[in-house]
Amino acid sequence: MKNIGIVSYNINCNFTNYGSALQSWALSQMIDRIGETLGIQSKLIDYCPKVLEDSDCLNPMRKMWDTDLEARRQVEMMMPAIRENYQKFETFYTNHFRRTKRKYTDGNFDEVVKDEDISGFVCGSDTIFCINEFKGFVEGYYANFDCMRGKSVSYAASFGDPTFTEQDYLTLNERLKNFKALGIRENNMLPYVKEHVDVRTERTIDPTLLAEASLYDTIIAEPQMQDKYLLLYSRRYNKKMEQYAEQLAKQKGVKIVEISIRATNAEKGHVMRYDAGVEEFLSLVKHAECVVTNSFHGVIFAVQMRRPFYCFSREQGDTKIGEVLDLFGLNNRMMVHGTENVPADIDYDDVHHRIDEVRKPAEDYLRYALSLFV
């Protein structure tokens, strides 16, 4: 079997991220499924680019976006849960992937081909093409190492909310030449990419949607709560979202289970679960009465598990959240103030029909991309 390396934002980060872990896992599962007839299997590259070298999940305050004293205090109080969460993520990456035996950096990445017998690379998914988030073009994400040029494809790579200078566009044009096929997650940059490359380029859905919902049942944890609850999953603190969740939980007569670093919310009776591992996160979504979130993957897994959800706008996330809500036909569920009139019911038969319609061409693209390595 040929080993195809997955290169993405996952293991090395400042805070662990359920979406990053699950998009990599779903992509690995789909590569293995499609690759079975091609003699191909996936291998997760433990890649730490230069921009992330000083990130540390066990000491996240050094590179926090929020630099105010209150945010730092909340993180300090949450450190026991952060440590437990980190260990669970490490176990997930070790037990549920073929993972490289060591970490690779911008200084030694070319050694991975010999070390791990890698025949090609799939870059994606996540916002690996977002130069704002990573302060420039990350070499591995753009397949810009000698061993990757001409031996890489992308799947559902995202540009996030990009702002390019004229020089950035020139650099981008050169980096795109490294790929034999390009799968792009959002529409915002798709016309530009198609205009500047001569390889197959398509919009492809996030790997967490490419995988059918039943696949997650193979790793999901047992129910985490006996009482009924609302799941509040916050990737960035939003007071209006928190107040909305508390009001909604009161109306429904249920508890709040919260995944965030807002440690003091335990004093209000919230069941704080930042300690939850990937498998426990899936369970918390699946068994919730409803989900309130400002997370892209929080929305996706609420949809995959057919749970009622309410989505709040988030800085540096609105483009990707807006596009996936459009895909679901649910753009009326995005809120800013918490006073918007959001329908109570979701026609999940219609939503999953929409997903099925885009899943097939995305799978066809991935099959084509993998065939280039045969």
CATH, domain 215-342, list 3.40.50.2000, 3.40.50.2020, 3.40.50.920, 3.30.360.10: 3.40.50.2000
Residue 314 banded pLDDT, cuts 50, 70, 90: confident
What's the per-residue H, E or C state across the chain? CEEEEEECCCCCCCCCCHHHHHHHHHHHHHHHHHHCCCCEEEEECCEECHHHCCCCCCCHHHHCCCCCHHHHHHHHHHHHHHHHHHHHHHHHHHHCCCECCCCEECCCHHHHHHHHCEEEEEECCCCCCCCCCCCCCCCCCCCCCCCCCCCEEEEEECCCCCCCCHHHHHHHHHHHCCEEEEEECCCCCHHHHHHHCCCCEEECCCHHHHCCHHHHHHCCCCCCCCCCEEEEECCCCCHHHHHHHHHHHHHHCCEEEEECCCHHHHHHCCEECCCCCHHHHHHHHHCCCEEEECCHHHHHHHHHCCCCEEEECCCCCHHHHHHHHHHHCCHHHEECCCCCCCCCCCCHHHHHHHHHHHHHHHHHHHHHHHHCCC
* Residue 209 to residue 26: CA distance in whole angstroms: 8
Query: Is the full-model pTM beyond 0.75?
Result: yes
- Bridge-based pairing of strands 229-233 and 201-203 is unpaired
For 73-90, write each residue's pLDDT tens digit. 999 999 999 999 999 999
Residue 357 pLDDT > 80: yes
Give the residue with greater pLDDT, 4 vs 161.
Answer: 4
For 143-191, write each residue's pLDDT tens digit. 999 999 999 999 999 999 889 999 999 999 999 999 999 999 999 999 9
Q: Among 18-32, 236-250, 311-325, name the one with the lowest average pLDDT.
A: 311-325
Residue 317 pLDDT > 70: no
For 196-245, write each residue's pLDDT tens digit. 999 999 999 999 999 999 999 999 999 999 999 999 999 989 999 999 99
Q: Among 47-56, 298-307, 316-325, name the one with the lowest average pLDDT.
A: 316-325
* Residue 305 to residue 216: CA distance in whole angstroms: 9
Residue 65 pLDDT > 90: no
For 263-285, write each residue's pLDDT tens digit. 999 999 999 999 999 999 999 99
Give mean pLDDT, residues 305-334. Answer: 91
For 94-128, write each residue's pLDDT tens digit. 999 999 999 999 999 999 999 999 999 999 999 99
pLDDT for res 85 = 98
Residue ranges per structural domain of the chain:
2-211+357-371, 215-342
